[in-house]
Amino acid sequence: MDLLTELTILVLAAFVGFEVISKVPNTLHTPLMSATNAIHGIVLLGGLLLIGEATGFLDEFLLVIAIAFGTINIVGGFLVTDRMLEMFKRRD
């Protein structure tokens, strides 16, 4: 993919992010922070993309750590957000 295409995607994603998020009420700021926090765990993909062609013990070792970190970020993040949101109930 060429650089300009990537920059186009980057800028559009930024605007979508601003638009989608600026309407969230205060009440949901902590869960929102936690959910977006889980989404940046997507960096896990970077570890997956590199490990197949990585050579040498050190690089593979570092990538396994990166994959583990990314997984903690994703799994922990979504789970903890769900626990918070489970508690937002209406009065019966």
Shortest Å distance, C-beta 89 to other proteins: 7
Q: What's the CA gap between 7 and 3, in Å, rounded?
A: 6
Shortest Å distance, C-beta 14 to other proteins: 5
- Which 6-65 positions form the footprint of other proteins (CB under 8 A)? 6, 9-10, 13-18, 20-56, 58-60, 62-65
Block residue for tokens 């970190």: 69
Size of site (CB under 8 A) for other proteins: 81
Q: What's the CA gap between 40 and 85, in Å, rounded?
A: 19
Using CA atoms of 33, 88, 79, 17 in order, give the dihedral in degrees to the nearest 10: -30
76 binds other proteins (CB under 8 A): yes
